Amino acid sequence: MAQNDTSSRLEGIDLARFISLLGMILINFSIFAGMSETKPSIIASIINAFEGKAAATFVTLAAIGLSLLVCGLAQAEATSVLLKRVLFLLVVGHLHLMIFDADIIHYYAFYFLFGFFFLRAPTSLLIAVIINLLLLFVVLAVFFDYDWGWDWENLTYGELWSGWGFISHLFFNGWHPIIPWFSFFLFGLVLGRMPLQNRKTQLLLTSIGLVMLIIIKALSLYVVNLTADILKQGEMAILFSTSPIPPSPFFILTGISAASLVIGLSLILAQTMVQWGWGRFLLFLTRPGRQTLTIYLAHAIIGIPLIEALSTINLEPITVAVIAAIIYAGVAVILANLWSIYFQQGPVETVMRYLTGPHRAASTPKPL
C-alpha cells in the first residue's frame, strides 16, 4: 500500500501539472486568436477566470518538482544540477522568448536560482517572504509606472530588449515578474514539505483552496467597487483586482488558492483511480504531465500557424482558440504516450537531464 501511496502521489503531481498546462495552452491560444475582440460569453468568462491561475499552479508545481529532485542528492550534487538547469532554462527560455513574448521558461531559470537559497529555509521564513513580496509589489506599483514599456492594444512589451526594460520586465511589470510571482514558487516549497500522500492533507488543500478562492474573489469585488466610489475614477482599484496584469496581492492569493485546489484534487483523483483499478487510464493522462516542458515549448510554434489556418474559416476568435486548444492537446497527449513507450521523459526533458543531471536512472512511478 505504501508503494501505491508514493506512486499515486507522484502521479497526482503529474496530473496537476498536465491540467495546469492545458489551462495555459487554452489561455495563450485565446490571446493568439485575439479573444479580446470577442463578445462577452460564458466560455469567454470561464477562460478569463482561469487566466493567470493555470500559470500560477504551474510555477507552484515546479517548486514541488525541485524539492523532489534534490531531496535525495548530496549538497554538492544538488547545487551542480540546479545551476546547470538554471543555465539550460535561461538559454531555452530566451530562445523561446524571441517567438513568444509571454514565455514563462526564462522566468523559471530565476525562480529556480532564487528558490535554491530557500530549499532549507524554515517554513515561517517562506511565508514571511511571500507576504513581503506582495507588499513590495504594491510599493513598486505606487511609485513606478506599471504601464511603462507596454503596448496594451497589441499586448507587446516594446522595451523588452533594452537594458532597463529587460530588468523591469523580469522583476516588475512583465508577464510573470519575480516580484511577486516568486511567491508561487515559495508556496510550492511549502507544499513540498507536506505529507501530500495523506488523504487528510489532500482534503485540506482542496477545501482551503476552494473556500479561499471564493472569499478572496468576493472581497476583491467588494474592495474594487468601494475604491471606485471613493476615488471617483477608481485609480487604485486595479491593485485589488484578481486579474494577473498587474499581479496585485489579490491575484497572488487567488493563484495560491487555485494551486492548492488543483493540486489537492489531482492527488485525490490519482489515488482514487489507483484504488479503483484505473491506473492505466491515469497513466494516459499523466505521461504528458512528465513532458510539459516539451509540450509548452512547442505550443506557440505549432499553435500560431494552427490558429491562423483555423481563422480562415468564418469563426469567432474564441471558437478558434478552443478548437485549436483541443486539437493541440489531443495530439500532444497521443504523441506523449507513444513517446513514453520508448523513453521515460519528453524530448526536451531528456536533453535537459543529459546536459544537467542527475545522471542516475530517473525516479519514476511504476506501472499502476
Q: What value, to the nearest 5°, has the Cα angle with vertex 187 and ends 355 and 294?
A: 35
- Ordered by start, the domain boundaries in the chain are 2-356
Residues 80-121: tens digit of each pLDDT: 989 999 999 999 999 999 888 889 999 999 999 999 899 889
Selection from 145, 148, 321, 141 nearest residue 241 by Cα: 141
Greatest distance between any 2 Cα atoms in the chain? 62
Cell of 82: 540546479
Residues 185-239: tens digit of each pLDDT: 999 999 999 999 999 999 999 999 999 999 999 998 888 777 766 655 555 667 7
User: pTM (2 decimals)?
Assistant: 0.91
Lowest mean pLDDT across 27-31, 124-128, 230-234, 332-336: 230-234
Cell of 163: 537594458
Tell me the C-alpha distance between 216 and 219, whole Å: 5
Cell of 154: 497589441
What is the Cβ-side half-sphere exposure of residue 105, based on CA atoms within 13 angstroms? Answer: 28
H/E run at residue 111: helix 105-116
Of residues 66 and 184, more confidence is placed in: 184
Q: What value, to the nearest 5°, has the Cα angle with vertex 296 and ends 157 and 274?
A: 140
- Residue whose grid cell is 536560482: 113
145 class by beta-carbon count within 10 Å (0-12 exposed, 13-18 middle, 19+ buried): exposed
Selection from 72, 68, 108 nearest residue 92 by Cα: 108
Q: Is the torsion defined by CA of 77, 83, 87, 93 positive or negative?
A: positive
pLDDT value of position 230: 62
Contacts with 92 (C-beta within 8 Å, 6 or more apart), sequence order: 105, 297, 348
Strand partners, 157: 150
- Residue whose grid cell is 513598486: 140
Q: What value, to the nearest 5°, has the Cα angle with vertex 324 and ends 323 and 327?
A: 85
Tell me the C-alpha distance between 97 and 89, whole Å: 11
Contacts with 40 (C-beta within 8 Å, 6 or more apart), sequence order: none
Strand partners, 214: none
Residues 295-336: tens digit of each pLDDT: 999 998 998 899 988 888 878 888 889 999 999 999 999 999
Tell me the C-alpha distance between 309 and 328, whole Å: 13
pLDDT value of position 106: 94
Chain-centroid distance, C-alpha 176: 10
Beta strands in 106-194 (DSSP E): 150-151, 156-157
Residues 143-171: tens digit of each pLDDT: 999 999 998 888 889 888 888 999 999 99
Selection from 263, 256, 176, 173 nearest residue 216 by Cα: 256
64 class by beta-carbon count within 10 Å (0-12 exposed, 13-18 middle, 19+ buried): buried
> How many other β-carbons are positioned within 10 Å of the β-carbon of residue 166?
15
What is the Cβ-side half-sphere exposure of residue 230, based on CA atoms within 13 angstroms? Answer: 8
Lowest mean pLDDT across 63-77, 110-124, 126-140, 222-236: 222-236
* φ and ψ of 150, to 5 deg: -95, 140
Cell of 68: 523532489
Tell me the C-alpha distance between 91 and 94, whole Å: 5
Tell me the C-alpha distance between 46 and 58, whole Å: 19
Tell me the C-alpha distance between 125 and 326, whole Å: 41
